[in-house]
C-alpha cells in the first residue's frame, strides 16, 4: 500500500519561474516530512523538512508547505534553475521508519 | 569522512548465488537504514539499526535477507539464494540519533540477478 503518493511523474518549468511539486499521504500518524533530490547514479540528497507542528518551512529558494487536514504537502522552488533538474522524492515518517513517494522528475528549461 | 559509502557500486550475479553489500555510514551517526529501490519507485524501507541493534524490519525483508551492524559501525546486507526479483538498487542511509532526522544516503549498490 502506497502511503505516500506523488501523482505527477514529471514536471517542466521555465528557468526563473516557480516549480511546485506535490505530495499526498494517507497515514495520519506521520509527523515528519522531508523532500529529497536525486541525480542519476547518486543517492537521494536531503533538501528540506517540516514537522507536523508547522505549516511552512523555508530555506533559501525552497519552501515546503504542509496542509495536515488535506494530508498534502508541496515543495516550491523559486526561482527555478537548470541545476534543479532532478527527481524529487517526498518522504514521511511516524517516528522511526520513512516512507517515500514514487518521485517527480523536474526539468527546468533554460 | 565525507559521507556514506557503499561497496560494491555494481554487482551482477547468477540466480541462486549469495551476495553481500557493505555500507559505511557517517562516523558520528548512530542510525543506519537499508532501502531497496526499483525503477520508477521511491526507496522502500528494509531495516534499520540504532547502533548495533536492529530495531525494525520491513515485511518486505524475506528470510533470505539478513543485515548486521557489528560494533555499531559499518553494516552488511546479505541476500541468500538470489532471485531475479531481487534486482534493484540497494541504498544505505545514516542519521544522527534523534526522534526524526534527515537521512544521508550513500550512492547505492545496483544488483542485477541474471
Q: Is A70 left (phi over 0), alpha (psi -120 to 50) or beta?
A: alpha
Tell whether omega for the bond before A12 is within 30 degrees of 0, i.e. cis: no
A40 CB within 8 Å of a chain B CB: no
The answer to whether B48 contacts A100, with C-beta atoms less than 8 Å apart, is no
* pLDDT number for residue A69: 96
CA distance A43 to chain B (A): 4
pLDDT band, very low/low/confident/very high, at B100 (cuts 50, 70, 90): low
Cα separation of B7 and B76, whole Å? 10
Q: Which three cell numbers mark B81? A: 539464494
Q: Which three cell numbers mark B102? A: 534527515
Q: Where are the beta strands (DSSP E) in A1-110?
A: 4-5, 10-14, 19-25, 32-38, 45-51, 56-59, 62-67, 72-77, 86-93, 99-100, 104-109
Residues in B touching A42 (Cβ below 8 Å): 107
Cα separation of B18 and B13, whole Å? 8
Question: What Cα–Cα distance (Å) separates residue A44 from each residue in A78, B53, B106?
Answer: 21, 25, 8
| Residue in B103, B106, B107 closest to A98 by CB | B103
The answer to whether B100 contacts A32, with C-beta atoms less than 8 Å apart, is yes
Segments of chain A scoring below 70 in pLDDT: none
Per the prediction, chain B carries an average pLDDT of 92
Give the alpha-carbon dihedral of A77, A79, A80, A82, to 10 degrees: -140
The answer to whether A97 contacts B45, with C-beta atoms less than 8 Å apart, is yes
A69 CB within 8 Å of a chain B CB: no
> Is residue B98 over pLDDT 70?
no
| Opening angle at CA A89, ends A84 and A93, nearest 5 | 140
* pLDDT number for residue B62: 85
Residues in A touching B55 (Cβ below 8 Å): 96
pLDDT band, very low/low/confident/very high, at B110 (cuts 50, 70, 90): very high
A1 CB within 8 Å of a chain B CB: no
| Residue in A43, A97, A100 closest to B56 by CB | A97
The answer to whether B56 contacts A91, with C-beta atoms less than 8 Å apart, is no
pLDDT band, very low/low/confident/very high, at B1 (cuts 50, 70, 90): low
pLDDT in tens, B44-84: 999 999 999 998 888 878 899 999 999 889 999 999 999 99
* pLDDT number for residue B2: 75
The answer to whether B102 contacts A34, with C-beta atoms less than 8 Å apart, is yes
Residue of B nearest to A9 (CA): B40
> Is residue B99 over pLDDT 60?
no
The answer to whether B40 contacts A102, with C-beta atoms less than 8 Å apart, is yes
Amino acid at each position: 500500500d502506497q502511503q505516500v503518493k506523488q501523482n505527477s511523474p514529471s514536471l517542466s518549468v521555465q528557468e526563473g519561474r516557480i516549480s511546485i511539486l506535490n505530495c499526498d499521504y494517507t497515514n495520519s500518524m506521520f509527523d515528519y516530512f522531508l523532500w529529497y533530490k536525486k541525480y542519476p547514479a547518486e543517492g537521494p540528497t536531503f533538501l528540506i523538512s517540516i514537522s507536523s507542528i508547522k505549516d511552512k518551512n523555508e530555506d533559501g529558494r525552497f519552501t515546503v508547505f504542509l496542509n495536515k487536514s488535506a494530508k498534502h504537502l508541496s515543495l516550491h522552488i523559486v526561482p527555478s534553475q537548470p541545476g534543479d533538474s532532478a527527481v524529487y522524492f517526498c518522504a514521511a515518517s511516524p517516528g522511526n521508519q520513512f516512507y517515500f513517494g514514487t518521485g517527480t522528475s523536474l526539468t527546468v528549461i533554460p | 569522512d565525507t559521507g556514506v559509502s557503499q561497496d560494491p557500486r555494481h554487482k551482477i550475479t547468477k540466480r541462486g548465488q549469495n551476495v553481500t553489500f557493505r555500507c559505511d555510514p557517517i562516523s558520528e551517526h548512530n542510525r543506519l537504514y537499508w532501502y531497496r529501490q526499483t525503477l520508477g519507485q521511491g526507496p522502500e524501507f528494509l531495516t534499520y539499526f540504532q547502533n548495533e541493534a536492529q530495531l525494525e524490519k520491513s515485511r518486505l525483508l524475506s528470510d533470505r535477507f539478513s543485515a548486521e551492524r557489528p560494533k555499531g559501525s559499518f553494516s552488511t546486507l546479505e541476500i541468500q539464494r538470489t532471485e531475479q526479483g531481487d534486482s534493484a538498487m540497494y541504498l544505505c542511509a545514516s542519521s544522527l540519533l534523534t526522534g526524526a532526522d534527515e537521512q544521508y544516503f550513500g550512492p547505492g549498490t545496483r544488483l542485477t540477478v541474471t
